[in-house]
Structure 1
Amino acid sequence: MTTPVLRVHNLRAGYGRAEVLHGIDLHADQGSVITVIGPNGAGKSTLLNTLMGILPANGQIDLEGDPIQSLTLEERVMRGMALVPEKRELFGTMPVEDNLLLGGFRQMRLANPHWRDRMDEVYTLFPRLKERRLQLAGTLSGGERQMLAVGRSLMSGPKVLMLDEPSLGLAPLVVKEIFTIIERLRETGVTIVLVEQNARAALAVADYAYVLEMGAIGIHGPAEQLAQDPRVIESYLGAAKRKEVA
């Protein structure tokens, strides 16, 4: 039996004395896409921030079998964790290409002589970024900024890529493009943890899914199975899905 790339056991975290996550268990295998869906305020972004080391936590977090819960944010980045936050956090006054180069910091620190070659891989995945490589990041469209945020994280060569609400605020056609890219990312071997309010799109692209409610995992299982679960349909997929299943 292979060791999961990411394994989380009894994870508890919050803000001050207010506990937001209550004993979270989850795992992700190499090259898989797992998604965490749930209502606003369920703790989805808190989960990603905790895994990244932004928030203190109790419990076990293993990366490739090694515990990382005591590591700092910077140490987790060097070990191969990457987070694309909901707000993207780009350097708006810098060109696209400079934003990408900054993303290569981990590979540069690891003394990888070919770290700049990852730029070509990112441009192959996102041709629009190559077209706009000299354009200031702050002048990009919403979809292009999301592509740049993902591309910058890929420059680090992550083992686990965490995406926080990648479809937020984007037009439907752009959302479809973003999820197509997530499917293509699976082929690169990177493990993806996807937090997303668009439950239908998330379940369509994921291998395994977790439903987070009130800071605890309520339901989990293969994404295809959860997409047919009456509880998930009722709460997250809406009337259109109920008719389809019927």
Structure 2
Amino acid sequence: MTDSLLAVTDLHAGYGRAEVLHGLKLKAAAGSVVTVIGPNGAGKSTLLNALMGVLPSRGGIAYRGQSIAMQSLEERVMQGIALVPETRALFGSMPVEDNLRLGAYRQVRLGKKDSGASLERVYALFPRLKERRTQLAGTLSGGERQMLAVGRALMGEPSLLMLDEPSLGLAPLVVRDIFNTIAALRSTGVTILLVEQNARAALDVADYGYVLEMGEIALEGPASDLARDPRVIDTYLGAARKQAGA
């Protein structure tokens, strides 16, 4: 993978004395969708939280060719890195549009006072949010909350968007919509690092993939190759993919 926006080397991270990631190495090419799949407890969310600066870590984290390993969470946000956490972390008592405008924090700090253009781009991507713009975030459906969480992150116009389990708890049709949106985002130039238990959907949308098991990279390669790998099929894609002739 050339022209890496993100390059991670020998990354160690965890919780207190419990190390979860053991010398992990990973890259994300600019403008690509990179997915990390693996079982529960493999360290997928730990990886994103370490890259965002939510968790302390040691090792190399280079973004745009410069080390950000010592930068704070706020500094990483200002560099153009955004994380949509598994919990979505919305302000339920605030309307949809106010939640979105809070996401423009980075742009305001950079001197861009008017977030209207970013708001319209998000509404174009998620028309349902425009319909619900005056509705309290806490009253949205699960799929709408996920759209709002992604939309809020996009309001900061990030270069690297990290998504933690975006399909979690959603109905199959809603999952399809979310992944169609991820595919559409690729054309905007944003780089996406996608952590996902739905390996089939993740590999279908990604350019490159990593299989994370017990805190270490077990397999990596172009997503289309991983989707045909017998071990990945047996462990993560199940009988349905095999029946489809994958």
Q: Report the TM-score range of the alignment, normalised by the length of the smaller protein.
A: over 0.9
Distance 1:176 1:49, change over 3 A: same
Identity %: 68
Aligned-pair Cα RMSD in Å: 1.1
Residue aligning to 1:130: 130
1:96 and 1:243 map into 2 onto residues whose CA distance is 42
Residue aligning to 2:81: 81
Shift of 1:10: 0.6
Q: Which runs of 5+ in 1 are unaligned?
A: none
Residue aligning to 2:212: 212
What's the CA shift string for 1:142-200, capped at 9, x where partnerless?
00000000000000010100000000000010000000000001011000000000000
- Whether contact under 8 Å (1:33, 1:205) holds in the other structure is yes
Instruction: Calculate the TM-score normalised by the size of structure 1.
Output: 0.98
Q: Which consecutive segments of 4 or more residues in structure 1 shift more than 4 A?
A: none
2:92 and 2:115 map into 1 onto residues whose CA distance is 23
1:243 and 1:150 map into 2 onto residues whose CA distance is 33
Secondary structure in 1 matching 2:20: strand
Shift of 1:17: 1.0
What's the CA shift string for 1:93-143, capped at 9, x where partnerless?
000000000000000000024433100000000000000100000000000
2:202 and 2:78 map into 1 onto residues whose CA distance is 28
1:203 and 1:176 map into 2 onto residues whose CA distance is 13
2:97 and 2:45 map into 1 onto residues whose CA distance is 28
- Whether contact under 8 Å (2:83, 2:161) holds in the other structure is yes
Shift of 1:2: 5.2
What's the CA shift string for 1:188-214, capped at 9, x where partnerless?
100000000000000000000000000
Instruction: Calculate the TM-score normalised by the size of structure 2.
Output: 0.98
Q: Which amino acid aligns with 1:106?
A: R
1:41 and 1:5 map into 2 onto residues whose CA distance is 27
1:2 and 1:169 map into 2 onto residues whose CA distance is 35
Residue aligning to 2:6: 6
Residue aligning to 1:108: 108
Residue aligning to 2:159: 159
Residue aligning to 2:193: 193
- Whether contact under 8 Å (1:228, 1:245) holds in the other structure is no
1:59 and 1:28 map into 2 onto residues whose CA distance is 17
